[in-house]
Amino acid sequence: MSEDILQKIVRKRSEDIERLGLNFGIEIPASRRRGHVEFLGTPGAILEVKRASPSKGDIAPDLNPVGLATTYAEAHAQAISVLTEMNYFKGSLRDLIAVADAMEERAKQGLHACAVLRKDFLLFEDEIDIAYRCGADAVLLIARILDDEQLVKMAKRAQSFDMQAFVEVRETDDLRKLKLVTDALGDAAAKTIVAGVNSRDLATFHTDPLVPASVRNKLPAKAVFESGIHSGADAAYARSLGFTGILVGEAVAKNPPLAKDVVSSFENGRENARGQFWKKFAALRQAPALDNLARHCSSSHDCVGHLMHEQAPALDNLARHCEESSDEAIHKSSPMVKICGITREEDGLLATELGADMLGFVFSKTKRLTTEEFVRKFHRLLRSARNDVASNPEQAQRVEGSPLLVGVITDPNSEEGKIAIKLAREGVLDAVQFHGVDPHNSIDAASSNALPYYCAVRVGDAADFDKVEALRKNGEPRILLDAKVEGIPGGTGKQIPESLLREKAGDIPLWLAGGINPENVTTLYEKFHPELIDVSSGIEDAPGIKNHDKMKALFAAISTVK
């Protein structure tokens, strides 16, 4: 079995330590030359001194570490992360010493001085000592590369120097290790431990901004969103999830003036309804594959209850035993399913029984237009079914998110659009789908932050992907792609041309709509492996009237994909 990138980094680093020692042949100060600054003492941005990466190669090979650190400090970063791995990131302990000395000098002058993090693939306790003498206030400990005993020892060593241990987690087993560390440190853990979740898988270097969303509620109060931050909008998204810090590397190392925007966007942001939606979706995304029994139930109300009852222990089992990273597990599972254009109670209940992850209600003047009264009634019905099986608050929270209810709008200023937005703000709907309209241009920032939503783009040619790219730059973690047919906002029964998807979609997690039906869903999945499919006309007898046999056939077909 070939080595992944993380394994190569660790192996090469171990060889260098054997050859050069833990100081990598660099003269280390005999004692620490600066005071201590608490790492993430207040919420804020951690900006990185980074020359290169395994995935991008050279990023800023000629950077001046002190000059860049000064720019970061002047932007009021909370901390500076200094990469000291020399093979793949071209860092050095010399950079760490220089940045720490520069921060000490700023402190003496009464200027804002950042905490300093040593970021490396540390393997030994004595490396904590070296980091301390070099002036670091915190050290990165990657749970994935350290066994239980070593991780605890290294965290305790950091504590002995009054340093923070920045424990990076990503996989389910990492969370178990994090708990071991916090339990071992006891009351001191709250001050000593900062948890970080990397949106980038260090084994594959694939980045997914929903991975941090999926684990935020499982982390301590001080938690950092790592990687994948390229703009102020991305920083605001991370803040909306409730993170107390972000770690930004490539974007600011390549473009130092961006530091001010990233820092201010994060500091001015807050946890909000938009972030809550993405956390709910990310948790739902991690649920196990659709339950076979739930797919084939015949009694609508009983089946809703049975599905919820079966999912709760399955989720517990997943949390205990899954050892795959979040995105690896997801790519191996069947796609998530949104059934859109629900206008009848029986259709929504059957979709729920069959395992739909999201149900869409259209608030636009089409033949699938729904009403506020219908959606409120359906929401109450689902809540009643959930309460039937939720015998305690913890279980109620687990079953609460399936399926998510979404209001689809094409004009936020129309009466229909305003109703959907109102229902989402009240919590009757879990989110609003802005279909073919950019919320950043149609509603003010304060309103959008208070609203759980995602975006859909109608795609007919290559130029339409410019809209997708613009939304991604505005911090949207997922975007639904629907087939464009002029004059028809959705539910067209047409597919996006395959050649266009192959050329333009890239490796982004796909949400696909348009022309999906029981006959083509398996072929579509084999070709593009969408994370989510949105189905409407492909399972209808008429607009808004679902054919139950077709719905069952759709989910039966989905159950066969791998």
Element (H, E) at 500: helix 498-504
Alpha-carbon torsion 54, 60, 66, 71, what sign?
Answer: negative
Residues forming beta bridges with residue 119, ordered by sequence position: 83
**Which DSSP symbol is given to 186?**
G
- Please pick, among 340, 347, 430, 455, the residue that the annotation labels catalytic: 340
What is the chain's Cα-based Rg? 25
| Preceding amide of 256 cis, omega within 30 | no
How many whole angstroms separate alpha carbon 290 and alpha carbon 450?
32
Measured CA to CA, the distance from residue 38 to residue 40 in angstroms comes to 6
For residue 295, the 8-state DSSP code is H
* Residue 114 appears among annotated catalytic residues: no
Distance (Å) of CA 535 to CA 280, 287, 346: 21, 20, 17
Active-site residue (options: 120, 234, 411, 482): 482
d(CA 207, CA 507): 10
Q: Provide the pairing of β-strand 453-459 with 431-435.
A: parallel
Query: H helices then E strands: how many in the chain?
Result: 25, 20
Contact 284, 276 (CB under 8 A): no
Residue 238, SS3 per DSSP: helix
Q: How far apart are CA 211 and CA 327, in angstroms?
A: 7
482 as an active site residue: the answer is: yes
Q: Which residues contact 6 (CB under 8 A, 6 or more apart)?
A: 144, 145, 202, 203
Residues serving a catalytic function are: 340, 482
